[in-house]
Structure 1
Amino acid sequence: MTKTNKGFTLIELLVVLAIVAILSVVVILTLNPAELLKQARDSNRVSDLSTLKSAISLYLADYSTPFVGTSTLCYISLSTQSATTTKCGVFTNAAVTNTTTTAANLRKVDGTGWIPVNFAAISSGAPIGNLPVDPVNTASLYYAYGATSTLTFEIDAFMESTKYANYMLNDGGNTDYAYEVGTTPGLAI
């Protein structure tokens, strides 16, 4: 009776491992997981700003004496503990200063959150349960909100991915480095 060896040789195993390694590198370089994560966060930013714009517009349409904020303040989505930025979105008026709230109040919709609009005053109830904040929410990636006494407002976000760069360019605002939405994108307060 002859003995036959069943199995793979070391050379065959090394060739298969090399092929798998090469394919893995090609897939990772093609997909670029870091860019995909940036795109996911940017998609969330676009959705958040759309939600905020709709909620503020509903508040303006429903409430008889609306307060949308002070025109000399820029409201940012950073808490007082993390607010280290000196800029307020794209609001470039020198008279505008940043304002923040505490971490405990940051997401509240009763006018004490980072946006000073009392969504709870809407007759049909608050359209959002919590104020959204930027997915990263750091000194370089945050949301900014500004309003005027004529009840116009703007909400800004900074995009990370190359895919969403055109959103900043084509939003109708006055700057190419932030995504601007509101009743007046490009609001110079």
Structure 2
Amino acid sequence: MFISALNKRKLQLKLGFTLIEVLVVIGILGILATVALVAINPAEAQKKARDTARLKDMATLQAIIEQYYQDNPGTLTGLNANKESGPTVLKTCSTNWLGVNLCPYANVIPVDPINRATSVTDSAGTAVPGTNAYYYFRYSTAGYKLCTYMESASNKEKIKMINDGGNNDTNFEVFSASTITCP
């Protein structure tokens, strides 16, 4: 009986893990987590999500502007008037970045998911160096054009901005007049 109690005591002592074993397991888990994080690439996933929102916003903006044009023909006139989404713009219907009161058509006007002004164009449509915006709205007597820049490299390849019918291969464009250019 004394021997079996001693053996039982030894078995109880061997049931735990040593510090070295625990550290090795933590190290292996850390390596696996790093490999998984690199494979998932959360920064690219966020860019893709913002690009998806941009494409949805372009469709929404196009529908709003088309409704506005049907109800108010010829009201947006001017020679290459430029508007861009930026950090100081509001999304309300009356004081939005498009510069047109669109309250009858939408309560909120979409803005870029990042919504920071990274580009500005002058009245001639020339981009000011060192800046670049994600949403552009240009209109003239010929019609309008909405442009957005795709952030994700894989989305740029998938969407094939070269085949959207517009004249700018670096932006995704929706328009009523393809002759209008985006900056």
Common fold: TM-score over 0.5: yes
Deviations 1:24-82 (A, max 9, x none): 01110110001011111111111111100011112222x14452353332111125xxx
SS at match of 2:82: strand
Which residue is 1:34 aligned to? 43
Which residue is 1:90 aligned to? none
- The unaligned stretches of length 5 or more in structure 2 are 119-131
Structure-2 separation of matches of 1:172 and 1:64: 26
Structure-2 separation of matches of 1:17 and 1:160: 36
Structure-2 separation of matches of 1:131 and 1:66: 21
After TM superposition, the structure 1 = structure 2 runs for residues 1-189 of structure 1, keeping only pairs within 5 Å, are: 1-2=5-6, 3=9, 4-5=12-13, 6-61=15-70, 63-78=71-86, 103=88, 106-110=90-94, 112-120=95-103, 125-126=104-105, 128-138=106-116, 139=118, 140-150=132-142, 152-166=143-157, 167=159, 168-185=161-178, 187-188=180-181
Q: Which moved more, 1:165-174 or 1:32-41?
A: 165-174
How many residue pairs match? The answer is 157
Q: 1:180–1:186: 8 Å Cα contact kept in structure 2?
A: no
Q: What's the CA shift for 1:15? A: 2.3
Distance change (3 Å), C-alpha of 1:46 and 1:71? same
Query: Radius of gyration: which is bigger?
Result: 2
TM-score between the two structures when normalised by the length of structure 2: 0.75
TM-score between the two structures when normalised by the length of structure 1: 0.73
Q: 2:48–2:155: 8 Å Cα contact kept in structure 1?
A: yes
Q: 1:68–1:116: 8 Å Cα contact kept in structure 2?
A: no
The structure that is helix-richer by fraction is 2
SS at match of 2:48: helix
Deviations 1:162-184 (A, max 9, x none): 12103333322212211111223
SS at match of 2:145: strand
Q: Percent identity?
A: 33
Q: What's the CA shift for 1:148? A: 1.6
Structure-1 separation of matches of 2:156 and 2:72: 38
Distance change (3 Å), C-alpha of 1:133 and 1:186? farther
Structure-2 separation of matches of 1:13 and 1:114: 57
Deviations 1:108-164 (A, max 9, x none): 323x422133323xxxx32x21211111122134311011213x1111111110121
Structure-2 separation of matches of 1:24 and 1:64: 57
Which residue is 1:92 aligned to? none
Distance change (3 Å), C-alpha of 1:106 and 1:185? farther
Structure-2 separation of matches of 1:37 and 1:145: 24
